[in-house]
Structure 1
Amino acid sequence: MSPKGGCGKSTTVMVLASALSTNEDLSIAVVDADPRQSLARVWIGKREESEIGEPPFTVTSEIKETEIVDMLEKVEESADVVIVDLEGAAGLMSSYVATSADLCIVPMRPSALDGDAAGSALKLIRSTGKAMKREIPTVVLITQTDAAITTRSHREVVEELDSAGIRRCSVELMKRAPFERMMAEGKTLFELADTESVAKARENAKAMAREIVAIVEANH
């Protein structure tokens, strides 16, 4: 969840779904609630064009704002894990999803603009939780970071989050070409051809997924 486009929401969803789907004991469902449907339309379209076959997780879309809660309940009946890719707007859809979420993930690049957008998402989640009289578990995920260089802006963002007591993933989603190639080729991270770059991206993905799973399990 984030009201800002380009912060890595769809990439985070794809990386998390790719990593979790390597566990054959889990059934994974992705709900594309973004009107652009970058996953349900673009990614699935690429798979169909290339005749890759069925993905290791289901992808559901065409969801109306007022129907999202019912849709999530239906999807939950057949999936162990449901991951929702929300639109880049702080609207009712985001509030509805937050009410039933086990964890809200707020992706952000290490920049002031993304930090401001993340702050808006966190306020929306808090206000939704107050209305529901429960605290909605939330974590910030820093995305598109450079594996070799930590910029001043990156350090300042981390310091600001930590000083404000905002929970963030210790694992950051690095800026790696394979994460972009997933969308371009219509493949999961683990369907891409084996290269050193892909191997590093997979390790990053698995580390991020392990931390997300640990947070969810700790809340239960």
Structure 2
Amino acid sequence: MKIARYTIFVTIVVLAIVLSSAHTEKPVWGFYGHKKINRMAVFALPQEMIGFYKKNIEYITEHAVDADKRRYATKYEAVRHYIDIDHWGKIPFLEVPRQFNDALMKYGQLQLIDLITLDTTNLSLNTVVNEEDRFDPSIAIMNGDQVWHSMKTVAFENFFKAHFKTQYYEDEWIVEGQVYDEIFETDKFASGNKVLRFVDQFSHQGILPYHLESM
């Protein structure tokens, strides 16, 4: 069985190389490549399996592109099909969070928006770990080199999940200032003319396999 799997793998790799170099002027992968690979892979199966798959070879060939067809269904679908993880670091990518919310928060941008002047202030999130509470860290929201607000990390994570992440399929992720003040018992937005916006700067590099978590 190991030999069979190896044979299939080698077949797919060879086909990929051949197909990608078949057109010297404009290399094309496209639907044709996916269909061809599925079809040829059937003939690399061991004798015990080839009978069933050969009977269904047309179905296997035609449905090879189902995933690619789906990626055009909405503007949010394509990023579910890949991740350019090397954009975020190097193997073994220890710095890349394993949880989707953590990745969104780490690489995204929190902004303070003035609704009257439309001025935008970028805020940064800094983790603060003290010896006495190293197992219960805090997060400092920074405006430049000044602390704008601080809280326990778990409190901000819960806020992010409940009020920003729920807007994942919206064009903008906005939280009214009054909501923030009520949750964290502050008067940061007492003037009533400011909101918080979070800009997702992570998803455009792909979210596979993060999207397999509950969204």
User: Larger radius of gyration, structure 1 or 2?
Assistant: 2
Scaled by the length of structure 1, the TM-score of the pair is 0.25
Higher RCO (C-alpha under 8 Å, 6+ residues apart): 1
More strand by proportion, 1 or 2? 2
